[in-house]
Amino acid sequence: MFLAIKELKHGKLRFLMIGVITVLIAWLVFILSGLGNGLSTLSAATFKNMDANYVTFEDGSRSSMSRSLLSESLVEKLENQTNVSAASAMGATMGTVLNNSKSDDKEKVDIAILGITPGSFLEPNVIDGKPLQAKNSLEVIANDTLKKKGFKIGDILKIEGSLEKMKIVGFVKNETYNHLPAVFTTLDKWRSIQFAAPGSDKGIEKPVNGIMLKGENVDSAKIKQLFKNTETVTKAAAIQGMPGYKEENGTITMMLAFLLAISAFVLGVFFYVLTLQKSNQFGILKAIGASNRFLGRAIVSQVFLLSFISIVVGILLTYGTALILPDEMPFSLDLKLVVLYALLLLVISILSSLVSVRKITKIDPLQAIGRME
Amino acid sequence: MSGIQFKNVSKLYQQGENQVLALDEISLTVEQGEFIAVIGPSGSGKSTFLAIAGALLHPSKGEVILNGKNLNELKPKDLAQLRLEEIGFILQTSNLVPYLNVLEQLLVVKRMAGKLAKADKEYANELLQSLGLAAKLGKLPEQLSGGERQRTAIARAFMNNPSIILADEPTASLDSKRAHEVVQLIANEAKSRNKAAIMVTHDERMLEYCDKVYRMEDGRLKHDDSFSHEKLKAISSKG
Ligand SMILES: Nc1ncnc2c1ncn2[C@@H]1O[C@H](COP(=O)(O)OP(=O)(O)OP(=O)(O)O)[C@@H](O)[C@H]1O
Ligand SMILES: [Mg+2]
């Protein structure tokens, strides 16, 4: 550590440059992970927020709400299964609405219409206004991003391609589904929007898209045995089944993986060149008795210090960036992810410095002191 | 048995087709408290000899016994330890670490050995003071003159209180006044602290401080009687 710090102080410019590169890499990694997290939140926040552990779909729907159709009557039967503490049905439809309360408003807004049972564990808490009422199927609660689009409590929404209307009575926060702001309504209302065309419900009595189950260690194989036309998966698997979710996450993860691999290489080369430049010094130190361990520790602690500071600066820059990013930008930093990537970067830079440590063990002190000429 | 002992040491350099016999069956004993000089023409094998004595190079044949330890039998890790604890190397060019100041050049030796104690700092200060560097403690090598650098390197070689001192042309970059001082210092250290010291030099004026002079020629080492003690003194008083 002594050598490491002394040298850092002496070669400020050189180490500043490597530090800046590390900061930029860290910054990029955190921004990407923030974007990835933001995107996945946007596509499945409602699912993620739900206090459910499992989801039951129609058999063959491959964990996708949009491909699944079940009867609401299953809810009661599922609730009676072992380890299931509660069950509640849900339906989802994408729609386009106009604000009917403003006659001059021609701007259409895309939303996700989610049918749930009022008062069930699927209903999110309102931050403004009042919750859903079972008896009043006109009333809906909407995600607060609609507020920014000019919607207020009491506004009437007209659904395109349907005769149905909805009235906003409350707002909820962070509820997006399939990248769209979620609007929660009753299951009955949802059915009248979704299955307006005769026969579109395939003759299923009280159809829903899926049934959310609460409870640990639910035996999905047994449920499958009892109810042949169903499949039950964990919530995580259901989130993977959201349209585009896997693909988006895959893209971001790929980019991150490449970025990390490239940064390992870039940093490794930097440290290596730096070590080569200093091989003479290391030779001197070896000639007067420095062990490989002593020199190796000097390098690793130097890289550790440099990376640690750079990563911290990178994190600060990222949070600074988050402040100035526009609201529509799906950017959300998860502290857990930030810590994870920070540790990963630290490990990568230390691993990449090991190449240099290996080099040191090979330095011949005799050569370094110029064969004493 | 303390001191350093060479037993039929040969060194063969292999360079492609060519083979250079740099050392040819060298046998020599340097006792504690003895200061010897090795002189000889360029390319005769003096540096090779010193590198082998300093455990930086393995002999092709023969063995070196340093304070009773056979260097051939030690592992690289133990050799590093031995260099640290028992050998003080003074090189022709001072070879200081560029980013450490004069005091730190000495302290780093202690850090290599483990913890730095307060007594070590005092000892380093004393050493530097006795070498006339008290005013330069905080200076980096680039801010020092050649002689100051050389003296720093000497202080560093003494820092771990080694039992063997090896010096390869320590006076090459010094004027004759400084050169005398430096060699005197090595001689003093060898005498007062009972160390074995070997100095390679081209400068015959420096031989007056040495107990014995050996001449290296084509890899062979011979005791040189022409530099008897009285004769040495005579030369120096003339020069
Ligand atoms: N690594 C090496 N590979 C091949 N030959 C070498 C090597 N090192 C030294 N030699 C040869 O061994 C011989 C002795 O070299 P050495 O450096 O010991 O001489 P020296 O007496 O120190 O010379 P100088 O007074 O010029 O420093 C020379 O002929 C040299 O060319
Ligand atoms: Mg030489």
Our mutation pick for probing the ligand 1 site, out of B48, B52, B56, counting the most ligand atoms within 8 A of Cβ, is B48
Mutate to test the interface with A, among B108, B116, B159, B160 (most CBs of A within 10 A): B108
Q: Residues B227-238: what's their mean pLDDT?
A: 58
Q: Residues B107-126: what's their mean pLDDT?
A: 88
Chain A residues with beta carbon closer than 8 angstroms to that of B82: 289
Helix axes A2-10, B102-113, angle to 10 degrees: 150
- CB within 8 Å: A287 and B95: yes
How many Å separate Cα A297 from the centre of its chain? 37
Ligand 1, atom 3, lies closest to the CA of B13
pLDDT value at residue B234: 57
Q: How far is B133 from chain A (nearest CA, A)?
A: 21
Nearest-Cα residue of chain B relative to residue A296: B112
Strand segments, DSSP code E, in chain A are: 54-58, 70-71, 86-99, 109-116, 128-129, 139-143, 156-159, 165-172, 176-177, 180-186, 207-208, 210-214, 230-234
Q: Is A371 on the interface with B (CB under 8 A)?
A: yes
In this structure, the strands spanning A86-99 and A210-214 are antiparallel
CA distance B72 to B132: 39
Q: How far is A263 from chain B (nearest CA, A)?
A: 28
The H or E element containing residue B87 is: strand B87-90
Distance A79 CA to ligand 2 centre (A): 91
Give the count of domains, chain B: 1
The H or E element containing residue B5 is: strand B4-15
* Nearest to B170, CA basis, from B86, B18, B50, B80: B50
Range of the domain at B62: 4-238
Our mutation pick for probing the ligand 1 site, out of B26, B44, B50, B218, counting the most ligand atoms within 8 A of Cβ, is B44
pLDDT value at residue A105: 63
pLDDT value at residue A372: 38
What pTM was estimated for this model as a whole? 0.77
Supply the CATH number for residue B88's domain.
3.40.50.300
Distance A290 CA to ligand 2 centre (A): 23
CA distance B38 to B198: 7
Report yes or no for ipTM above 0.95: no
Residue A52 near residue A235 (C-beta atoms within 8 A): yes
Q: Which residues surround ligand 2, an ion (CB under 5 A)?
A: B 47
Q: How far is A300 from chain B (nearest CA, A)?
A: 16
* Highest mean pLDDT (candidates A112-116, B94-98, B222-226): A112-116
In the predicted structure, residue B26 carries a pLDDT above the cut 80: yes
CA distance A205 to B82: 89
Q: Hey, which residues 176-205 in chain B have their CB within 8 Å of chain A?
A: none
Pocket of ligand 1 (CB under 6 A): A 371, 373; B 13, 15, 20, 22, 40, 42-48
In the predicted structure, residue B239 carries a pLDDT above the cut 50: no
pLDDT value at residue A373: 35
pLDDT value at residue A245: 85
Distance A60 CA to ligand 2 centre (A): 83
pLDDT value at residue A27: 93
- Across chain A, which has 373 residues, the per-10-residue mean pLDDT values are 83 90 93 88 86 91 88 90 90 88 74 93 92 88 88 89 88 90 93 84 87 90 89 90 84 89 88 85 85 90 93 95 85 88 92 89 74 39
- CB within 8 Å: A288 and B99: no
Nearest-5° angle of CA B116, CA A5, CA A288? 55
From B100, B140, B156, residue closest to A288, measured CB to CB: B156
- CB within 8 Å: B47 and A370: no
pLDDT value at residue A120: 92
Count of alpha carbons within 13 Å of A8, Cβ hemisphere only?
Answer: 19
pLDDT value at residue B3: 87
In the predicted structure, residue B225 carries a pLDDT above the cut 80: no
Lowest-pLDDT range, A27-41, A123-137, B133-147, B169-183? B169-183
Residue A37 near residue A334 (C-beta atoms within 8 A): yes
pLDDT value at residue A121: 92
> Quick one: DSSP state of residue A126?
P
